[in-house]
Amino acid sequence: MPAYKAPLRDMRFVLYELHQGETLAQLPGFEEMTPDLIDPVLDEAAKVCEEVLAPLNRSGDEEGCTYENGVVRTPKGFKQAYDLFREGGWTGIACDPDFGGQGLPKSVNTLVEEMICASNLSFGMYPGLSHGAYLAVHAHGSEELKERFLPKLVDGTWSGTMCLTEPHCGTDLGLCRTKAIPQDDGSYKITGTKIFISAGEHDLTENIIHLVLARLPDAPKGIKGISLFVVPKFLPKADGTPGSANGVSCGSIEHKMGIKGSATCVMNFDEASGWLVGEPHKGMRAMFTMMNTERLAVGIQGLGLAEASYQGAVAYARERLQGRSLSGTKHPDKPADPIIVHPDVRRMLLTMRSTIEGCRALGAWVAMALDRQHHSAEPQERQGAEDLVAVMTPVVKALFTDLGFEAVNHGLQVFGGHGYIREHGMEQLVRDARIAQVYEGTNGVQALDLIGRKLPAHAGRYLRAFFHPVSALIEAKVEDEQLGSFVQPLAKAFVRLQQATGQIARVGMAKPEEAAAAATDYLRLLGLVALAYMWVRMVEVALPKIGSPADSDGFYRAKVATARFYMERVLPQSGALFSAIMAGGQSMMAFEEDAF
């Protein structure tokens, strides 16, 4: 597998040409965020990922993390790479400058996250979880907690975690049993066990700050009785340095299918000192600040791994000689033609490419909505952006990770038997990608969130944030001489999406299982339409530039050709998804339980 190269050309196309990223500088707080500042950040991030993180990916997978007597050690080279990463300021690029961050837009940080995930997902888990902890404390913590913990999280000398899951309690967090007992000094004693804690224990930072869900003695039952606490591994001293050990220990680490360089821990809290984040019994609201951001980040994990697999598959398809082209020999000077001449190999490569580039465009659109939500001076713009983020968060998480896993499997398939062995690195990408469909809420849970919470919220207001721009584009461009052939497939799929939405809305209240039975297919249908919308917009940008000096490398020609493949070969899946949704859930729910 060739060395990873960050797709900076396409990233800049998405950021500047498609989404007009230069307008970020018009938002309060982003006045300096011009291409002159952003481009060097992207260039340097690419350099770090290509030259520092990517070379550790395979060795980190082969060595994995080790656990001995409560101590977890990361793979060789991770500590040195983390120190370089931290010293370069990468742990704080999207953090508040008041706490030492660089304050870059989320849309820029999302592109950096993709590079990190593509080059070394296991490494990226450590700063990724820290950023989630930072966001929760920043949004909900007291000023005292912010001053105590955020500067160290931002500069990377301390890291963070999310401690939600318990042995008996995964998606249903209302079953959480971890206890929090108030103390006279305003702190709490936290007791309980959490499992599947990414970056729960390691040797990269001098302290680890755990964000822990627990119950107060007077907590009501269920999810409304959960509070959130910040629980450090070492209790900070007055000067901000780590002090005595807290009642926090790692009981073991998991032996996993993938992301083996990321420590996944069982964490035991034995009367550990912690401090309340936000209000009592309102922990889920605070935790969802972390989880929603993490769900977007997990979607980007799927995208990054797909990009890495695509690069490997293309390089291999160009050099692997097998058979002759069905239309006649293409390379008579060689004993066989490279496999890139074969239709099925091209099908796999173009499926990967069209979904990767579509997801990159959609992910950046949602990330820019986050920037507007938090920084726009216009209340109406902030509300519209918030609505779009709300409806698209489960879509980005589930769609990107599903398509990402499909893509890395296509990449392995291009290699044939050579993809199944370790030497080329393609099988690691498959193993690493699989977890993204599971954690931060399984993709089935994301689909239920979409149809159960997001669709009916505020009489469908969230969904309108997506439907209205799609409808406007179709109405304006469906008869366009150049764009029409791209808009018409989008229009047909959008009609199916509208009809499926109406069907789910009709049956959802009276027969919730009917709606739930359609949830996964509906999320995929909405996601494919969203990618088609992105592709039409990308074609609109690219078409006028074909043949211009800017297209000397064929970038815009390839963009339009990829769009045509998506519309003709991927988007038609919307028809089958629509049929499945309209068929209802009777065939699955009427099946005798004993017959399984």
pLDDT at residue 8, rounded to an integer = 98
pLDDT at residue 286, rounded to an integer = 82
What's the mean pLDDT in 341-350? 98
pLDDT at residue 223, rounded to an integer = 85
**Is 420 domain-assigned?**
no
pLDDT at residue 355, rounded to an integer = 98
Q: What is the CATH number of the domain that holds 73?
A: 1.10.540.10
Q: Do 482 and 573 fall into the same domain?
A: yes
* Count of CB atoms situated within 10 Å of the CB of 575: 13
Q: Do 103 and 206 fall into the same domain?
A: no
**Is 571 domain-assigned?**
yes
Q: What is the CATH number of the domain that holds 265?
A: 2.40.110.20
pLDDT at residue 292, rounded to an integer = 76
**Is 354 domain-assigned?**
no
pLDDT at residue 1, rounded to an integer = 66
Beta-strand (E) ranges in 29-157?
66-68, 71-73
- DSSP string of 95-139, one letter each residue: S-GGGT-----HHHHHHHHHHHHHHHHHHHHHHHHHHHHHHHHHH
Q: Do 173 and 234 fall into the same domain?
A: yes
Q: Do 177 and 271 fall into the same domain?
A: yes
Q: Do 132 and 213 fall into the same domain?
A: no
Give 205-261 pLDDT, tens digit per residue.
999 999 999 999 999 998 889 999 999 999 999 898 999 999 999 999 999 999 999
> Would the pLDDT of 2 be above 90?
no
How far, in Å, are 287, 364, 377, 588 from residue 373 at the CA level? 19, 14, 9, 40
Q: Which are the catalytic amino acids?
A: 440
**Is 31 domain-assigned?**
yes
- DSSP string of 198-243, one letter each residue: ETSS-SSSSEEEEEEEEB-TTPPSSGGG-EEEEEESEEEPTTSSEE
**Main-chain phi, psi angles of 204, to 5 degrees:** -85, -30
**Is 529 domain-assigned?**
yes
Q: Do 176 and 135 fall into the same domain?
A: no
**Is 75 domain-assigned?**
yes
Q: What is the rounded distance in angstroms from the CA atom of residue 343 to the CA atom of residue 337?
A: 13
Q: Do 50 and 101 fall into the same domain?
A: yes
Q: Do 135 and 196 fall into the same domain?
A: no
- 405 pLDDT tier (thresholds 50, 70, 90): very high
Q: Which residues pair with 71 in a beta bridge?
A: 68
What's the mean pLDDT in 582-590? 94
Total count of domains within the chain: 3
Of 282, 316, 345, the one marking the end of a domain is 282
How far, in Å, are 73, 199, 202, 506 from residue 68 at the CA level? 9, 16, 11, 56
> Would the pLDDT of 305 be above 90?
yes
Q: Do 34 and 167 fall into the same domain?
A: no
Q: Do 480 and 520 fall into the same domain?
A: yes
Give 417-448 pLDDT, tens digit per residue.
999 999 999 999 999 999 999 999 999 999 99
Of 113, 140, 167, the one marking the end of a domain is 140
pLDDT at residue 193, rounded to an integer = 96
What's the mean pLDDT in 401-413? 98
**Is 551 domain-assigned?**
yes
Contact (CB, 8 A) for 104 and 33: yes
Give 545-564 pLDDT, tens digit per residue.
999 999 999 999 999 999 99
Q: Do 483 and 566 fall into the same domain?
A: yes
Of 236, 256, 282, the one marking the end of a domain is 282
Pick the most confident of 74-83, 279-288, 505-514.
74-83
Q: Do 13 and 136 fall into the same domain?
A: yes
**Is 322 domain-assigned?**
no
Task: Provide the domain limits for residue 493.
Answer: 442-587
